[in-house]
Amino acid sequence: MMAERTPTSAADLGLYTVHHTLAVNAKRYANRVALAQDGVRMSYEEANARANQLAHELIARGIRPGDHVGILAGNSIPHVIALYAVAKAGAISAVLDVKWVARETAISIELFHCSLLLIDRAHAAQVAPEVIATLRCGALWCDIRDPSRCEFEQAYRARPDSNPDVPARDDHVFMYMLTSGTTGRPKGCIKTHKSYLHSCIINLLGKRMVPGMSELLVVPIYYNSGRNSLITQLSFGGTTHLRERFDPIDVLETIQKERIACMALAPQQCEDLLVQPRLDSYDKSSLRVLRKAGLPFQKRSVQAIMQRITPHVFQGYGGTEFSEASILTPEEQLSKIGSAGLPLWGTEIDVVGPDRKRLPPGTQGVIRVRSPSVCEGYYNDTDATATSFQDGWYYSGDLGFLDDDGYLYISDREKNLIKTGGINVSPAEIEDVLLSFEEVADAAVIGVPDERWGTAIKAVIELRPGARLSEPELLRRCAEGLSRYKLPKTVEFVERLSRNALGKLGRIPDRTPSS
């Protein structure tokens, strides 16, 4: 009989895990500020201690290795501590969208088999009490506005700050990253510790960042775009200044006061900065990275952004399933306008035809990505995994081409998602809500070009004979079951929607792609 092997390798000891990087930095940068928000400046040593204490609380409440823990909170320090605490307890995070209504939250809690919910009281209305009652370990509440009602604070006082020492390996699952499905049912991208740390490494290398930089984070960390920036900084000794919302004056003042080096903004947020009367009076010389979040910067805006905000602009091709695949550097922004750049370190990008064979430069096809950053598939969704992950490649559903120099261009999408304001929205989910109204005989949801949102959601409605339903009333009912960003911006009532024998809608000319 063979003797049991003593775990001695780095992988066995959990040295390549997301939470171990925080523990290392707590020793290396003990007094350096890790997180800053609303006058609070938390050091690496304190952040690690808080994560340990909250992990002990989770374990005391019955969380076991491999359990799933939901997180419902905005851009706040408790949210960050929760991410690391769940990992230190050996559990798996499923971060939920704070813009969801109660129905949407309930669907995801059930879908991802959550045992416990870490929730900010500011979002209590977004989860029904009866849903919390179904959780094996209940809910753990934080309250950044009233510490006396914050169970996180109670855990900090009651639990030890020592490492829980729950066994972990780099191939263990770190989190399920939610992404929109074409049916409206969210999918959970299975992300291991090793894969997530690789995403952080290529984020650092691709944007020419160095350890110890400061970042202003207004992009939501319940989306991977913001969360990857956060964990990159915390993995490499940086300081993250968290904001719950974007305010152009606050952004400019913080850049100047805190000497911010890194920031991600959506195109409309850049436009909001560009129209500020006193923009040029603020000192923005500390900025070394301004990356696009969500939609690409508009061509007409890139030059103004580089002239008046910072010349250090980065754009690329990213997705929840693979984080980032390519990068367009600052010196290429004007010479390769419209491009998503070259593949990042350790990443391969191909454009293939229906036969999955590589296409020549300039020929449009399906974009596929191969990288250690690609997730392991979709949680509890074998069909979607089998469709999108084949032969070591992730088939994105995006259409594009490579030029003669190997630069990637995104041209269209196979998928039916609508990307509005940088957020993917499922038309099918909105259509299901519309069809629940007794006056509605048929409904189609499409994307239409919009100057502010890139693409706006439009509902096309066929009413039942003799039925009456106004646009305001229809939108009011939609708001009862859908987040605000999913609500149609416009409604068109038509006599009849055309469908073929299979029930599929005929072509609608003003449908726009989600890329």
User: Please, what is the Cα angle at 132 between 130 and 133, to 5 degrees?
Assistant: 60
- How many angstroms separate the CA atoms of 323 and 26, rounded? 26
352, 217: one domain: yes
**What is the count of structural domains for the chain?**
3
pLDDT at 449 over 70: yes
Distance of alpha carbon 440 from the chain centroid? 34
Residue 487's domain comprises 418-494
* Residue 187 lies inside a defined structural domain of this protein: no
Q: Are residues 289 and 147 in the same domain?
A: no
Q: Say if CB 35 and CB 25 are below 8 A apart.
A: no
List the CATH number of the domain containing 288: 3.40.50.12780
- Do 363 and 245 reside in the same domain of the chain? yes
Same domain, 288 and 340: yes
Residue 7 lies in a domain: no
Residues 394 and 427 in one domain: no
Q: Are residues 405 and 423 in the same domain?
A: no
Same domain assignment for residues 403 and 439 = no
- Number of other CB atoms surrounding residue 100 within 10 Å: 21
Pair 152, 212 in one domain: no
Two tokens, residue 144: 């950044």
pLDDT band with cut points at 50, 70 and 90 for residue 129: very high
Q: For 207-285, where are the alpha helices, taking DSSP H only? A: 224-235, 248-258, 267-274
- What mean pLDDT is predicted for residues 147-164? 95
pTM above 0.95, yes or no: no
Which of 380, 413, 446 is the last residue before a domain boundary?
413
384 assigned to some structural domain: yes
Give me the mean pLDDT over the 23-42 stretch: 97
| pLDDT surpassing 90 at residue 364 | no
Closest C-alpha among 202, 259, 211 to residue 234: 211
How many whole angstroms from its chain centre is CA 214?
20
Of 358, 382, 413, at which residue does a domain stop?
413
Task: Tell me if 189 is assigned to some domain.
Answer: no
pLDDT digits (tens, 9 = 90+) for 57-73: 999 999 999 999 999 99
Of 377, 396, 413, at which residue does a domain stop? 413
pLDDT at 206 over 90: yes
pLDDT score at 424:
80
The answer to whether residue 366 sits within a structural domain is yes
pLDDT of 507 reads 42
342: in domain:
yes
Distance CA 33, CA 43 (A): 4
Q: Which CATH number goes with the domain that contains 28?
A: 3.40.50.980
Contact 11, 41 (CB under 8 A): no
User: Are 66 and 157 part of one and the same domain?
Assistant: yes
243-264 pLDDT, tens per residue? 999 999 999 999 999 999 999 9
Q: Is residue 503 situated within a structural domain? A: no
Are 436 and 409 found together in one domain?
A: no
Whether residue 386 is found in the same domain as residue 461: no
Query: Is 154 a member of any domain?
Result: yes
* CATH code, domain with 454: 3.30.300.30
462 and 369 in a common domain: no
